[in-house]
Amino acid sequence: MKREASCSCGHLRLLCDGEPELVSMCHCIACQRRTGAPYGIAAFFSKTKVRVEGSYRTFRRSSDTGFDLLFHFCGDCGSTVFWEPLRKPDMFAVGIGSFGDPGFPGPAQEVHTEYRHHWVTPLPYRGS
């Protein structure tokens, strides 16, 4: 399956091959500020399964884990489409809203739940 993610204006696109290896919901304050929403949701794909088309700008920030993140956003419309978590150097994280697909797989995990807004429903337990 091929999936396409893009910014708001369409100048930055990612073509992703196959299903994501992980979909994760993050409640950290940095993700809340980045998205303007109470959480961010990322789909993780192997870099070998992603083709980037178009130009982008990059913003680097540290994380609670001590590993930096490189956020890539469209220089025209400002949409953050994907990022590189340096603790996972072989992966791209793609904001699932960038796919514009209501049928996209939901998150299998959530992190930094200590910052979850009180009205956001926790994910059901998905233990093995």
What are residue 53's DSSP bridge partners?
Answer: 13
d(CA 67, CA 69): 7
Supply angle C-alpha 49, 55, 56, rounded to 5: 90
Per domain, the residue ranges of the chain are 2-100+107-115
Give the model confidence (pLDDT) of 5-43 as tens digits.
Answer: 999 999 999 999 999 999 999 999 999 999 999 999 999
Class in CATH terms, 2-100+107-115 = mainly beta
pTM over 0.85: yes
d(CA 74, CA 76): 5
Give the model confidence (pLDDT) of 112-127 as tens digits.
Answer: 999 999 999 999 866 5
